[in-house]
Structure 1
């Protein structure tokens, strides 16, 4: 394989997961609204699988929630999108260097890669040289007999480790946030969620 693994930055607008998937699957960073619809339709079509116990919301509440452009996606949405596109999605976590693989039990022949910093998803791609434009990016990789994507996997992990060394991730257990509505400070994801549930405020900014 020729080329280098690069991180393609996706805008931070609460839809980064969907737009990152859109980019690696279709070279399109504007797929969020469409992919939210796909997820809502998938969940609504199978209330047994997507039960309240699984979703932590009723099926109906979840479908309304995921269609809201302010709401973030995570593991449930990635597993549905892997199935929708018929490709594995590898999500690399910068803080732990862990790779979560969605769709692997279905043994899809191809894989795409994302990188996650605790709050935000970007896309991973292979480009021919440093600085090459995005239209030359390769984002879909063949899964080999050993269920890896060969040398690309090592290159992707090196990029993730480099990001970890630079501490370019958000420790969601301990990060400090300020509520943009009432300016109260909270520590960690748990307190932020509790504050949001108590007040309905969802506009948080990280501050050091």
Structure 2
């Protein structure tokens, strides 16, 4: 196995989860509108499974909410997309180096990988060499009989740990952000989300 695991940056536009999934599944960073539709249709088709208790809001309200390009995706959306594509999705958290696996237990034969910094999702890919063009990326990996990716997992964890050492993550409970539009300071993800919802501003920079 020749190559290196690389982090492919996805634009920060509130649809990073969907565009990152589009990239690792189909080499397409512009799938967000389509994948939001997929999720809304899936949720609407099974109100029993996707109940208010599960979604945190009524089924219909959630469907309208997830179609809004300003809204962020998370665990619910990743589990639906794993099922939609029939592949496991591994999401690595930089702050804790934990890996959350979606689509587990369904015996899928392939896995794709994301990296998460507390606010933002990027894609993980195997590149033949540092600096090789993205069209040479391998993003879909065969799951072995022991349900691992073999050496790929070690390489991936090394990258995640390297990002952690560089503190390339956001401590979402305690970080301080400044709104790039009006320069107001906010603390924590909760305040950032409230500010974004109140003003429509979504361009935050971390500052210490």
TM-score w.r.t. the length of structure 2 is 0.93
Q: Which residue of 2 aligns with 1:122?
A: 122
How many residue pairs get matched? 206
Alignment of 1:39-78 (within 5 A): 39-78=39-78
Q: Which runs of 5+ in 1 are unaligned?
A: none
Q: 1:200 aligns with which of 178, 198, 201?
A: 198
Indicate conservation of the 8 Å contact 1:175/1:206, yes or no.
no
Distance 1:85 1:18 in 2: 13
Deviations 1:23-46 (A, max 9, x none): 000011110000000000000000
Distance 1:180 1:62 in 2: 28
Indicate conservation of the 8 Å contact 2:20/2:123, yes or no.
yes
Shift of 1:20: 0.4
Distance 1:94 1:70 in 2: 24
Deviations 1:140-187 (A, max 9, x none): 001011100000000000000000000011110111134567754321
Q: Residue 104 of structure 1: SS of its match in structure 2?
A: coil
Q: Which residue of 2 aligns with 1:94?
A: 94
Distance 2:38 2:147 in 1: 27
Q: Which residue of 2 aligns with 1:149?
A: 149
Deviations 1:52-82 (A, max 9, x none): 1111111011000100111110000000000
RMSD (Å) for aligned C-alpha atoms: 1.7
Q: Residue 105 of structure 1: SS of its match in structure 2?
A: coil
Shift of 1:124: 0.5
Deviations 1:97-131 (A, max 9, x none): 00000001212000000000111111001111111
Task: Spell out structure 1 runs of 4+ moving beyond 4 A.
Answer: 179-184
Asked if residue 185 in structure 1 is aligned to residue 185 in structure 2, the reply is yes
Q: Which runs of 5+ in 2 are unaligned?
A: none
Q: Which residue of 1 aligns with 2:79?
A: 79
Distance 1:133 1:180 in 2: 31
Q: Which residue of 2 aligns with 1:176?
A: 176
Indicate conservation of the 8 Å contact 1:125/1:139, yes or no.
yes
Q: Residue 199 of structure 2: SS of its match in structure 1?
A: coil
Indicate conservation of the 8 Å contact 2:180/2:205, yes or no.
no
Shift of 1:93: 0.4
